[in-house]
Amino acid sequence: MESDKKWYVIHTYSGYENKVKATLERKVKSMGLENVINRILVPMEDEVDVKDGKKRTIKRKVFPGYVLVEMEVNDRSWYVVRNTPGVTGFVGSATKPIPLEPGEVKQILKNQGIDSEAKPRISVEIGEQVRITSGPFENFIAAITEINEEKGTLKGLIDMFGRETTVEVDYSQIEKSLE
């Protein structure tokens, strides 16, 4: 995890969330602040709307009037964000923004389909044997049948009660078998 970068919540005029995000992204580029202000997010969720008997899915802001910013707070970054048109301030006290808790951030990012941690990369191939190191199938040897890079999981066949059974495990739950 990078040192002083945390997620902060900026209060904006209602309806200005996307404008603030776009303006801030431009400012970060033009001022060379990419290493101080990382990601800017307006969390959205799908909402099914029924109008005239027709269903349609619309994107709705999860936190209307707020934008999330992953940044390192210093005088310059605080000033840049604070003086972005449409921003009314940071959530926290007037002088000290209060960061979101890591658990809150993780949940919000997960709901947005963004992973807060980089997925572990693993070099295994279909047909290869791996040992499951945790979970209900701990210490079983699995022959890999499918690898899902996107989810960071793989499926494999294990021998359970004399029958082959397919299990799905996370990359973090396996190690290469030394057979």
Q: DSSP H helical segments within the chain, as ranges?
A: 17-30, 75-82, 102-111
Interatomic CA distance for residues 48 and 154, integer angstroms: 33
Which CATH number applies to 128-176: 2.30.30.30, 3.30.60.50, 3.40.50.300, 3.90.1170.30? 2.30.30.30
- What b/e sequence results for 153-167 when a residue is b if at least 16 CB atoms lie within 10 Å of its CB, and e otherwise? bbebbbeeeeeeeeb
Q: What is the CATH number of domain 6-112?
A: 3.30.70.940
Q: What is the pLDDT of residue 1?
A: 41
Check residue 51 and give its pLDDT: 84
Which candidate, 99, 80, 79, 102, places its Cα nearest to that of 91?
A: 99
At residue 147's C-alpha, the angle toward residues 141 and 153, to 5°, is 75
**How does pLDDT run along the chain (179 residues), one tens digit per residue?**
445 789 999 999 999 999 999 999 999 999 999 999 999 999 998 888 888 888 888 888 999 999 999 999 999 999 999 999 999 999 987 678 999 998 888 888 888 887 655 556 677 889 999 999 888 899 999 999 998 877 788 899 999 888 999 999 888 888 886 65
| Upper half-sphere CA count for residue 69 (Cβ side, 13 Å) | 36
Q: Domain extents for the chain?
A: 6-112, 128-176
**Pairing mode of beta strands 174-176, 129-132:** antiparallel
Euclidean distance between CA atoms 160 and 158, whole angstroms: 6
pLDDT score for 2? 44
